Structure 1
Amino acid sequence: MRVLFFSNPLVAHLLPQFPLARALRGQGHTVAFSTAEVMAPWLAPEGFELLLSGPSAEEVTDEVARRTGADILFSPTSQLVGAYFAGARVDLSLDEALAAARYWEPDLILHEHLDFVGPLVAAVLKLPSAAVATDPALEPDVTEALTAAARTRCLERGLELPSRVPSGRWLLDLCPPSLERRGALSPRERIALRPEPHEGPAGPTRARRAPVGDRPRVLVGLPHAAGATAGLGPVLRSLGTLDVDLVATTPGDPGEGPGLEPGRVELLPFTPAAELLENVSAVVHHGGSGSTFAAAARGIPAVVVPGSEAQQRQAEPLAAAGAGLVLPPGRQDPASVTTAVGRLLADPGFTVAAHRVRDEIAAMPSAVQVAEWLVASVSARRGR
């Protein structure tokens, strides 16, 4: 079977699809990705074919700004989110993606839940499709804006209007039950898909570092937005007052450390999450689904420092499950982060709760099982 994945040209949207793509390829199927050229450095090491389609995320952002006069990076309103994912990106990508798909002749289309090019290609070519829900939540107003923009594109092409987004015959849901938000994604034939911390295609990218003494290790993975690195040093210095060792990710060259005792902090550029989480007792992150699911899959409690209201609401189920603490706006200074991490390490109940979520994730169908189910389902529909 030939399976074509569609993704926004955003790393956080692309990587969660790799386990399923690897599983399909491992079962003898042919796999390719349709996305922008900027994703080539991530796809080439995996050996996945890239069907070029559409512009980079930066170019789509510029187009949305040209159309609306607003910058989605600084004002991510629901209308701008709809205009970006289901509007401008579709307008700039669809023709190229459709031509490439016609030539490649897929049997099944898979797309991450904020990709709206794949569903249109599937509709035009009359192919079965499934959405991979890489996030546990879409805000209701965002869903409405996305649906409206998607319906406009369908009307323009004489296609059946979607009743809901994300569209597709099946929804492959990476979110474990404990971390779901009720009503966040539309109900349909939902298939659980076990989330996995990202691993590189060729094994570990760095030498494993053994724990030093009995000090717990704390991973700090805050977002790499402009200015985020400048704020990392104060957080690390504050955390350094605890009896812990620290691991932190920074964009590009990590450069000089934050001035802590030698051997107490390890600064790394991008490193696969599966490696970062080795021998870690607690994680500090911003609440993105990739970080949330990765830590949960390893049974590691987290302190979440959300950068938006959506991330705040997304983190609440983690706190409700007892597997972490969420710092609301106004309580996200380095001292508050340090106090929260101290609580996680002092109270074993957080780790016990995180282990419950880990066991829940381990019980979800693996990528190999879901790949087998998808192929069987598509084959059965063909035979009708």
Structure 2
Amino acid sequence: MRYLFCCMDRVGDIHAALVIARALRERGHTVAFVTGPPLAPLLHREGFERLARGERDGPSFETAACANPMEMVRQVRHIESALARFPADVLVGQQLAFGVPLAAERQHLPLGVVGQLAYIFPRAQPPPPEQRDAATAHAVRLYEGLLPHYATARQTCGLPREDRAPQDTSLIGDLLLLRTVPELEEDVGSLPARVHLVGDCLGLPREEPDAALRDWLDEAAASNLPVLFARLGGATLPPSTWPAFVEALRDEPVRVLALAPQAAARTAPAHFLVRSQVPESFVLERARAVLTQPTTTAALGALTHGCPALLLLHEEAQLALEYPAVAEACVRTGAARSLTLPASGPGPVQLRETLRSLLDDPAPRARAQQLQRVFAAFDGPARAADLLEQLGSSGGPFQSPHSNR
């Protein structure tokens, strides 16, 4: 069977796709990719073909423009150009690749979608606004905010108007692979029947650190000071986040490894190490806690390594991708805490106190380690490959018993 993976440009997304693609390749299937040019070297190293956008290759599947109707149409054109050279039996998209369901519909192909850690759309017809909890309210805002853009893209692609209940949306394809486990998902039974849990499918590469980073981590271990891994490179964080973070931890008994622009190193205290890139799996194995925005990759990285997390949400970016849904799921388990940042950015005192409580309280770390064991036993890539094989055999739409979740 031939699978065409259609991937967004976030590195975490491509690694999630790769770990599933490898499982399919090991079973004798043929796999190719469509995505933007920057990911071509990684795909080449992995032995997968990247199919260009056409004779004039260029940007495609850009996360920053994922809700733009023209980006959705560009994805459709890229996929259809690729299908002319690679006649796939199944398309495999990603949650934020909103053009892929349009291409699947136009080409009458079954579609599997690699999801996030949390389900981001309404699970049923939502109640009146005054009766919605925060999670439901966010899902409705995200879904209703996206629909007009999706409708425009549908019209541009010559597809009929879609008038479905939220739980029946074509945006999740014939099969949605939700990257979580039952212990993180509050109500599996409320999910649409097309949604199935497949563990983390994280695919973080195993990379060795350079000598300077290894020495720094060894010195931290010898000092008996906890290592805080701070992922502060996100564009949606207020500019004042880094100064407040430095002030909050300037005199704290902790070693800080910060993933941030190198310019930040000029203001970093002596017990900070600033890097623009690190081997994350190696670092997470040695970290006591993680400070990050609640992307799926960051949250799953922390949980699958037994690290509690402080998740930062910018109050003016509450509709940002999967962030609020991921934060809510992680906080509910007790393995994480969240902090909503005002437009002006975080206050050093609040940030310091929240981090102290996370580092000093053994309960979040114990819960994160429990979830680490659950994820390790949940063979996600094999489950995902099983489901995609069934999808290919059935031709979609895919409906299997809830007990298989």
The TM-score normalised by the length of structure 2 is 0.76
Aligned pair in 2 of structure 1 residues 55, 255: CA closer, same or farther (>3 Å)? Answer: same
Alignment partners' CA distance in 2, 1:174 and 1:332: 30
Are 2:73 and 2:156, in contact at CA under 8 Å, matched by a contact in 1?
no
Please state how far the C-alpha of 1:274 moved relative to its aligned partner. 1.5
The alignment status of 1:20 with 2:24, answered yes or no, reads no
Give CA-to-partner distance per residue, 1:176-219, whole Å, 9 cap, x none: 34444769x9613222122154423x743535443233211110
Q: Deviations over 1:66-108 (max 9, x none)?
A: xxxxxxxxxxxxxxx74x1xx1112233223202112211121
Give distance in 2, aligned partners of 1:143 and 1:283: 29
CA distance in 2, matches of 1:17, 1:359: 22
Asked if the contact 1:283–1:301 (Cα under 8 Å) also holds between the matched residues in 2, the reply is yes
User: CA offsets per residue over residues 289-344 of structure 1, 9 Å max, x none?
Assistant: 22112111222111112123243454233223211221123482233222112111
In 1, distance between residues paired with 2:362 and 2:202?
A: 23
Match of 2:291 in 1: 284
CA deviation after TM superposition for structure 1 residue 60, in Å:
9.1
- Shift of residue 16, structure 1, vs aligned partner: 2.6
How much does 1:235 deviate? Answer: 1.5
Q: Report whether the alignment pairs 1:222 with 2:242.
A: no
Q: CA deviation at 1:377?
A: 4.4
Conserved? CA contact 1:223–1:286, under 8 Å: no
How far apart, in 2, do the equivalents of 1:48 and 1:251 lie? 31
Query: What is aligned with 1:117?
Result: 99
Name the SS for the 1:306 alignment partner. strand
Is the contact between residue 9 and residue 62 of structure 2 (CA under 8 Å) also seen in structure 1? no
Alignment of 1:1-384 (within 5 A): 1-53=1-53, 56=59, 82=67, 84=68, 87-136=69-118, 137-138=120-121, 139-155=139-155, 157=157, 159=159, 163=164, 164-180=169-185, 187-200=192-205, 203-207=207-211, 208=214, 209-210=217-218, 211-225=221-235, 231-232=241-242, 234-251=244-261, 256=266, 258-260=268-270, 264-307=271-314, 308-310=317-319, 311-312=323-324, 314-330=326-342, 332-379=346-393
The answer to which of 215-224 and 324-333 deviates more is 324-333
Q: Residue type matched to 1:320 in 2?
A: R
Distance in 1 of aligned mates of 2:274 and 2:311: 20
Mapped partners of 1:319, 1:167: distance in 2: 25
| Distance in 1 of aligned mates of 2:223 and 2:18 | 36
Q: C-alpha distance in 2, partners of 1:232/1:351? A: 25
Question: In the aligned structure 1, how far is the partner of 2:229 from the partner of 2:364?
Answer: 16
CA distance 1:332–1:131, change in 2 (3 Å):
same
- In the alignment, structure 2 segments of 5+ residues that lack a partner are 122-138, 397-405
Q: Give how far 1:247 is off.
A: 1.1
CA positional deviation for 1:153:
4.0
Aligned partner of residue 77 in structure 2, secondary structure? helix
Question: CA–CA distance in 2 between the matches of 1:273 and 1:55?
Answer: 29
The answer to whether the 8 A contact 2:61-2:75 is kept is: no
Taking structure 1 as the reference length, the TM-score comes to: 0.80
| Alpha-carbon shift at residue 254 of structure 1 (Å) | 7.2
Work out the CA distance in 1 between the residues paired with 2:38 and 2:236. Answer: 20
Q: Gaps spanning 5+ residues in structure 1: where?
A: 65-80
Once superposed, what is the RMSD of the aligned Cα atoms? Answer: 3.3
Q: CA deviation at 1:56?
A: 3.0
> In structure 1, what is the Cα distance between the partners aligned to 2:380 and 2:73?
35
Tell me which amino acid in the other structure corresponds to 1:359: R
Structure 2 SS opposite 1:266:
strand
Q: 1:269 to 1:41 in 2, by over 3 A?
A: farther
Shift of 1:353: 1.9
Q: In the superposition, relative to structure 1, how do residues 226 and 284 fare at CA in structure 2: closer, same or farther (>3 Å)? A: closer
How many residues align structurally? 356
CA contact (8 A) 1:219 1:246 kept: yes
> Structure 2 vs 1, CA of residues 186 and 369 (structure 1 numbering), >3 Å: closer, same or farther?
closer
Change (3 A) 1:272 1:176: farther
Is residue 254–residue 268 contact of structure 1 (8 Å, CA) maintained in 2?
A: no
